Structure 1
C-alpha cells in the first residue's frame, strides 16, 4: 500500500510555499471581498458556496439552463470559456456523485476554477490557496501524459507565476528593493497580497489563439519587461475519464 505521508507532505509544500504563517484564520482568507465557505449537507456532500458582495457575480437562477444537465464536457467548455463560477457548479455536481479516483480529479479541477475566479476578482491570496490545493490533488493522480497531465503542468506554471509576481510586488518599491529569499520574513512581507488591486489582465495572442495572464500593476517592475504566463485550459473529454 502506498505510504500516504509523502502525499501529505507534497500538499503541505505546495500550499505553504505561498501561505506560510499567513493561514492562521480561514475566515481572514477572503479579506472581506468574497465569502467562500464549505457547507456540509450530508456524510459526503460538500458545497463550495460563493457570496458576491463586491465582485458582481452571477445569480444561481439566471435562466441560462444551468445547473441541471451537468456533464464533464460541459464543465470543460465552461472552464475554457473562463466561466469559472458556472464551471464550479457543474464540477460540484460531478464531484459529489463520483467515487475515487475521479472524485479527487473533479475536486482538483473545481479548486482550480475557484482559484481563477478569485484571481480575476482581485483576491490573490484566495487564488493562490485554491490553485495550490487543486494542484496538490492533480499531482496525487500521478498523471504522466495526456490532457490531464498537461493541465497539471499549466496550473503549476500559473501558480508559480502568481507567487513570483506577488513576491516581486511586495519586495520592490519605486526607490527600494528588498531581498526575498522565501524565508518566513519574506512571506510576511506579502501582507494583504494586494487584495482589491487589479494586477492580472488577460491578453489574447491571435497568432497562437492562446490567452495569457499578464502581470500589469500600475507601477512598472522588472525593468519594464512584460510578465505573463499561459492561461491554463483543459483539453480532456469524458472519453479520457474512461481510463481513470
Structure 2
C-alpha cells in the first residue's frame, strides 16, 4: 500500500530517514506514531477498492520505504475468495488470524475496513497490517514484515488501549517486532567466525543489507500447552535453545470491536 501524505509515521517517514536513514526500523519501543487523518486505502496504485490485487510482491519492488503490497486478481480462486470475504465477519477474520491463514484474513479484514467508521476503521487497519506482516515474515520478506508490523503497531497504539484483548494483542505485536528487529541485528552482526558491534550507526545498519531476504530464518514451534512460538533458526549453532517469542494471537470478538466505537 502507498501511505498518504497525511499519515505521519517516524517509523517510515521520509523526513525521519533524512536525519537517520534507518529510523523506520527502530525497535518498537522507539517508534513514535502521529496521525493527522484516518487510515488510507491500503493498496498502492489502486484507487478502487472493489477488486483488490491479490499477489504479494517481493520487497525488492517496494520503494521510498513506503509500505506497498499488491495482490493479483488473476490468482487462482481470487473471485471466489473475494465474494466469501465480502460476507465475512470480524469473528471469522480472528479465527483466520489465529490459525495463521494471514492471506485470507487480510481479505476479510479489508472488506470490513471498507465499510468501517473511525475509530474502528483504524483498529481494523492495524490488525490487517499485522496479518500482512506475518505473511511477509513467513515468506522470507523480513524487511517487509518489520515495516508492516511497525505500522500496524502504530495504529494499535493510536487506539490508546489500557486493558482488554486489543491491548494484549498490541503488547504481543510489540514483543514480536522487537524480536524480529533484534534477531535481524544479530544475524547481520555475527558470522561463525566474527562478530561486530551494532550501535545504530550508519555503518551498523549497512550491515543489515537485504535483511536476509529469501532466507528461511523464522520457524514455528509449539510448546506442551500448544502455545505457538516464532523461533529464530538461522544456519548457525546455539549453545542453548534458539531465541523465540510468542506468536501473537487475537482474543477479541465482534462485541469487543463494537465497544471500541464508543471509546
Q: Deviations over 1:66-114 (max 9, x none)?
A: 2231110011000001000000000001111111101100100000000
CA gap 1:153/1:14 in 2 versus in 1, 3 angstroms: farther
In the TM superposition, 1:111-150 aligns within 5 A as 111-150=129-168
- Cα distance in 2, alignment partners of residues 99 and 212 from structure 1: 34
Structure 1 contact 212–231 (Cα < 8 Å) conserved: yes
Specify every segment of 5 or more residues in structure 1 that has no aligned partner in the other structure, as ranges.
1-6, 25-35
Residue in 2 that maps onto 1:81: 99
Instruction: Measure the CA separation in 2 of the matches of 1:61 and 1:130.
Output: 23
The question of whether the paired residues in 1 share the 8 Å contact of 2:11 and 2:151 is answered with: no
In structure 2, what is the Cα distance between the partners aligned to 1:71 and 1:211? Answer: 24
Alpha-carbon distance change, 49 to 182 in structure 1, aligned in 2, over 3 angstroms:
farther
Q: Does 1:238 align with 2:254?
A: yes
Aligned match of 1:200: 218
Bigger fraction of residues in strand: 1
Match of 2:55 in 1: 51
Match of 1:219 in 2: 236
The equivalent residue for 1:152 is: 170
TM-score for the superposition, normalised by structure 2: 0.74
Residue-by-residue CA offset, 1:163-209 (whole Å, 9 max, x unaligned): 0000000000111100011222212210000000000000011x222
- Does the aligned pair in 2 maintain the 1:22–1:188 contact within 8 Å? no
What is the alpha-carbon distance in structure 1 between the residues aligned to residue 52 and residue 177 of structure 2? 21
What is the DSSP-based 3-state SS (H/G/I as helix, E as strand, rest coil) of the residue aligned with 2:76? Answer: coil
Q: Deviations over 1:122-158 (max 9, x none)?
A: 0001000000000000000000000000000000000
1:53/1:224 Cα in 2 relative to 1: closer, same or farther (>3 Å)?
same
Instruction: Give the C-alpha shift of residue 48 in structure 1.
Output: 6.3
Distance 1:52 1:143 in 2: 31
Contact 1:14–1:136 (Cα < 8 Å) also in 2: no
Give the secondary structure class of the aligned counterpart of 1:75. helix
Separation in 2 of the partners of 1:192 and 1:183?
17
Deviation at residue 47 of structure 1 after TM alignment? 7.7
Partner of 1:21: 21
What's 1:38 paired with? 44
Structure-1 separation of matches of 2:206 and 2:99: 35
**What is the RMSD of the two structures over their aligned residues, measured on CA atoms?**
2.9
Q: CA 1:47–1:63 in 2, change beyond 3 Å: closer, same or farther?
A: closer
Aligned partners of 2:193, 2:240: CA distance in 1, in Å?
Answer: 15
Separation of aligned partners in 1, 2:51 and 2:213: 25
CA distance in 2, matches of 1:158, 1:62: 33
> For the Cα contact (< 8 Å) 1:39–1:49, is it kept in 2?
no
